[in-house]
């Protein structure tokens, strides 16, 4: 048994559906290419700096603060992702590092002896307008601080997190 010919209307309907499907596929491909281009641009603009010396705290048996705003935070329009904190050359006391201000909720690292601490991606974010501040208590010797960071342009920050 043969099917009756449905006429030219069915052919136009099939073509219209096919055209709509291809248009949707083309739009998805453009979005995918745009995302790939954006990720490549982000990768080209990101900068890894292995070691930024932040400075020293020299106090004997008391408290001291290291706060250098133009050195200890990203420039306007950029984020830092801190991967490594270093604190060296002191023999006693505690050195605490804060993000944005000296308060308990903003403490990101504590050194009770000289050492290095590594953190994972996006676990040490310093946003534009913020900075790291170090505070020492009961210090013996001179604490020398440094960090390793990836610098990300603010427009690519959410892409970086993915």
Q: Is the pLDDT of residue 60 over 90?
A: no
**pLDDT at residue 46, as a whole number:** 81
Average pLDDT along the chain: 85
Residue range 40-68: average pLDDT?
Answer: 82
CB atoms within 10 A of CB 98: 21
Residue range 11-36: average pLDDT?
Answer: 73
More confident residue, 102 or 45: 102
How far apart are alpha carbons 138 and 11 in whole angstroms?
A: 85
How far apart are alpha carbons 130 and 142 in whole angstroms?
A: 25
pLDDT digits (tens, 9 = 90+) for 110-142: 999 999 999 999 999 999 999 999 999 988 889
Q: Is the pTM of this model over 0.85?
A: no
Closest among 141, 80, 138, 135 to 109, alpha carbons compared = 135
**pLDDT at residue 111, as a whole number:** 96
Q: Is the pLDDT of residue 43 over 80?
A: no
Residue range 137-154: average pLDDT?
Answer: 92
CATH code of 47-161, in short, is 2.60.120
**Which pair of structure tokens corresponds to residue 11?**
């052919």
Q: Is the pLDDT of residue 13 over 80?
A: no
Q: What are the φ/ψ torsions at residue 97 (nearest 5 degrees)? A: -115, 135
Q: Is the pLDDT of residue 8 over 60?
A: no
Q: Any idea where the domains of the chain sit in the sequence?
A: 1-45, 47-161
More confident residue, 15 or 69: 69
Q: Is the pLDDT of residue 10 over 90?
A: no
How far apart are alpha carbons 121 and 76 in whole angstroms?
A: 21
Share of the chain above pLDDT 70, in %: 85
Closest among 131, 143, 130 to 64, alpha carbons compared = 143
Residue range 66-93: average pLDDT?
Answer: 93
């Amino acid at each position: 048994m043969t099917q009756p010919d449905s006429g030219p209307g069915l052919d136009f309907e099939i073509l219209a559906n096919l055209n709509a499907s291809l248009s949707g596929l083309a739009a998805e491909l453009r979005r995918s290419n745009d995302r790939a281009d954006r990720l490549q641009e982000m990768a080209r603009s990101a900068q890894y700096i292995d070691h930024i010396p932040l400075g020293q705290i020299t106090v004997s048996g008391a408290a001291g603060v290291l706060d250098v705003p133009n050195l200890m935070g990203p420039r306007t329009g950029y984020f830092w992702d801190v991967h490594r904190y270093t604190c060296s050359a002191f023999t006693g006391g505690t050195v605490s590092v804060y993000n944005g201000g000296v308060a308990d909720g903003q403490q990101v690292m504590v050194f009770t002896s000289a050492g290095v601490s590594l953190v994972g991606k996006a676990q040490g974010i310093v946003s534009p307008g913020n900075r790291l501040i170090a505070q020492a208590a009961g210090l013996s010797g001179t604490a020398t601080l440094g960090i390793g960071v990836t610098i990300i342009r603010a427009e690519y920050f959410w892409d970086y997190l993915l």
